[in-house]
Structure 1
Amino acid sequence: MKKLLLAAAVSTLSLSAAQAAPTLYGKVNVSVDQFDNKSFGTENVTEVNSNASRIGVKGEEKISDKLSAVYLAEWEISVDGDEDDSQTFKKRNIFGGLKWADIGTLKVGNYDSYFKSAAASKNDIFNDHAFDITSMMYGEERLKNVIGFETDPKLLAGIGFNLMLQQGEENKKDGDNGIGDAISSSITYENKDLGLAVALGADFDVKGKYSASTFGSTKQATDAFRLAGSYDLGKVGVAGLGLNALYQTAEATSDEGKAANLEEDAWVINAAYKIAETPVTVKAQYQSADTSEKGQKDKTVDQYGLGVDYTLNKQAKLYGLVAQQKRDWTTTKTPEKKQTVFGVGLELNF
């Protein structure tokens, strides 16, 4: 019996040694925010916010010299405790797939559209906060039931091609029930020696929200194009300064009522400056989203803000921000044209 147990233990250790250990990772991003005219109402409130804090596990298992299996499972966590127990963990990116060395990766699951990821974190200094671009413009979607393939940028000298097919799975005679009912794609290029990164994203029939619209949070099937870019001016002698910009245009493809005539133009521009020989980075951003229906102006949302980061180490930073959103319409329920936030926070990556 002892020999049998010993053999089982040795076998288990051998199996564990042969498999790569998964990596636990995450981010805690907690802030204290003062909102004036919360949600464009007349309420002023101080909040502790979790800001898309998350925890996940990822890994890669080698199958052969050129082929590996990859996986990732990530959940949003409620650091501030506002969610009830059943909502403490919310699904984020979850997928499994195969990776061919120096060629590309095939993924199947639920994860960020390639249109969304065309905008890097540099293109939105309020990323994950209440005032990030998700609150203003189309395209910040995480898509379910997808098959995606992304090439390794090293394959084509820094150029990457990404294609995602979404299956509607509605099982209706005239509905979305085939392969690639919606498509999200992007072409990316990064050259660190030049300090340049650019991306072109495209959605076809992907359902997304138009926040600056009469339709509000109602998702509409949409064709859209997004162009994003970043440039490090340190490469031309302006050390510490980076410029980032994004422009996109979107048009609803739905044939349901007014949505068939819904269009959006949106853009973002920002700058970040790291003060020499200090842990301080100063940021500024302006963004706008404008919608129209049947060629007539619908609604416009503008936002501008400032941010300051104080780096503690590679994993942690303190930050402060002030931002204001302004809109060009009012209603009885939400009479204010603007809302403002002042916040301080801690971001810790592990």
Structure 2
Amino acid sequence: MLLNNKKCHGISTLALVAGLGFSGTTQAFNVYEDGETYFDLYGRIHLTLNNDDGNDYISEEGSRLGFKAGHRINPKLEGFIRAEFRFTANDRDEARPNVIDDIRNTYVGLRFEDVGAVKVGNFDSIYYQNISKVINVRNTVDWRALAKGGARARGNSISFESQSFDGFSLGVAGKLDPEDEDAGEEETLNLMGYVAYETGPVRFAAGYDEAEGDDDALLGASVTYKISPQLSVGALFEEQGDIRHYGIAPVFSYSEGKIYGNVSYMENSDMNLSDVQYVAGGSYRLSDPMFVYLEYASSTDREINAIDKDWWALGVRYDF
């Protein structure tokens, strides 16, 4: 989708954000738009009071400032950029000397009308965005997957993701890690990809991650089903060598927020081990940009890429 010629003076439309491939629920304030060029600012403050197995502390959860910009090069081609800076919002001493503690979602790209988009830089794994993310419904407490957003991603990456063609779409990506002679590491290129099909309220996706550096490649499949305007469910299957992972995550939306959770079952057939992790939570929206939530996570004492603790979190998040 390319920019229209209508001048905009408020919050950027969700369609604009989605059309450029920006993920997440972050809002954006439109600073400038003239029909060919736009510039948006966005940000978030996200703080949480945690009880992690009896240990109480306050944490910040990805507080950020960022911008998005784009320019129509010709009627069928658009260039876009994004940069996002994460900072320590909960403690002045922790923020010293480097207030900016992470750089995320920072890339440049081209969108070809009716074809798709290419981008280069720092962004979440396309495997995560299309496969494992379907059960990532929490805000703070831990969750698990065989590949989360930063796995073989978030830097030195390039991707192509197609438009939808009669419900079908696909994506491929690669991450290039240069040679590190001091560490004795050779140059590596990790490849991943996915295919997806969406029809009505249902979306299916299957993904592959070469998992460079591991003994086995990662395979995954996901499905999301919007049962009603209030209720949706995501389900996940992953396999990597002897490890299999099954997950399901329902989300119920009510007038002022959401009630959500997930159940994750993981097994290692070689070691004859398995466990289950549970996540549950609920949110209440105080206003369009601001909500509060309460969450809980627990797992068994057999740890297979899991947490072994009871974790409560009470949080507040404000997006602009």
- Calculate the TM-score normalised by the size of structure 1: 0.71
Extract unaligned runs of 5+ from structure 2. 1-32
* Matches of 1:139 and 1:344, distance apart in 2: 23
SS in 2 for 1:22: strand
Q: Which of 163, 167, 177 is 1:158 aligned to? A: 167
> Are 1:313 and 2:287 counterparts?
yes
Q: In 2 relative to 1, CA 270–232 (structure 1 residues): closer, same or farther, beyond 3 Å?
A: same
Q: Which of 181, 205, 213 is 2:211 aligned to? A: 205
SS in 2 for 1:117: helix
Query: Which residue of structure 1 lines up, in the alignment, with residue 193 of structure 2?
Result: 185
* Matches of 2:223 and 2:289, distance apart in 1: 25
1:211-233: CA deviation from partner (whole Å, max 9, x where unpaired): xxxxxxxxx36511111111111
Q: In 2 relative to 1, CA 320–329 (structure 1 residues): closer, same or farther, beyond 3 Å?
A: closer
* Matches of 1:54 and 1:120, distance apart in 2: 23
Determine if contact 1:118/1:226 at 8 Å carries over to the other structure: no
> Are 1:224 and 2:218 counterparts?
yes
Query: Which residue of structure 1 lines up, in the alignment, with residue 318 of structure 2?
Result: 348
Give the structure with higher Rg (CA): 1
SS in 2 for 1:115: helix
1:303-337: CA deviation from partner (whole Å, max 9, x where unpaired): 1132111123333221111221223169xxxxxx9
Q: Which of 149, 160, 168 is 1:149 aligned to? A: 160
1:233-274: CA deviation from partner (whole Å, max 9, x where unpaired): 11xxxx5222211111123xxxxxxxxxxx421121121223
> Are 1:131 and 2:142 counterparts?
yes
* Matches of 1:25 and 1:282, distance apart in 2: 26
The share of aligned pairs that are identical, in percent, is 19
Q: Which of 34, 41, 60 is 2:51 aligned to? A: 34
Displacement of 1:106 in angstroms is 1.0
Displacement of 1:78 in angstroms is 1.8
1:17-62: CA deviation from partner (whole Å, max 9, x where unpaired): 68624211233222111111xxxxxxx2112121223222111111
> Are 1:25 and 2:37 counterparts?
no
Determine if contact 1:115/1:186 at 8 Å carries over to the other structure: yes
- Calculate the TM-score normalised by the size of structure 2: 0.77
* Matches of 1:349 and 1:33, distance apart in 2: 21
> Are 1:248 and 2:238 counterparts?
yes
Determine if contact 1:138/1:250 at 8 Å carries over to the other structure: no
Displacement of 1:105 in angstroms is 0.8
Query: Which residue of structure 1 lines up, in the alignment, with residue 25 of structure 2?
Result: none
> Greater CA deviation, 194-203 or 78-87?
78-87
SS in 2 for 1:327: coil
Displacement of 1:79 in angstroms is 1.8
Q: Which of 102, 105, 114 is 1:102 aligned to? A: 114
Aligned alpha-carbon RMSD (Å):
2.8
Q: In 2 relative to 1, CA 91–300 (structure 1 residues): closer, same or farther, beyond 3 Å?
A: farther
Determine if contact 2:71/2:80 at 8 Å carries over to the other structure: yes
SS in 2 for 1:328: coil
SS in 1 for 2:169: strand
* Matches of 2:244 and 2:308, distance apart in 1: 20
Query: Which residue of structure 1 lines up, in the alignment, with residue 88 of structure 2?
Result: 78
* Matches of 2:226 and 2:303, distance apart in 1: 38
Letter in 1 for 2:313: G
* Matches of 1:348 and 1:265, distance apart in 2: 37
* Matches of 2:119 and 2:203, distance apart in 1: 24
Letter in 2 for 1:344: L
Q: Which of 253, 262, 265 is 1:285 aligned to? A: 262
Letter in 2 for 1:242: S
Q: In 2 relative to 1, CA 83–225 (structure 1 residues): closer, same or farther, beyond 3 Å?
A: farther
* Matches of 1:78 and 1:317, distance apart in 2: 20
Extract unaligned runs of 5+ from structure 1. 1-15, 37-43, 208-219, 252-262, 331-336
* Matches of 2:268 and 2:79, distance apart in 1: 43
Q: In 2 relative to 1, CA 221–343 (structure 1 residues): closer, same or farther, beyond 3 Å?
A: same
Letter in 2 for 1:182: N
> Are 1:64 and 2:74 counterparts?
yes
Displacement of 1:122 in angstroms is 4.6
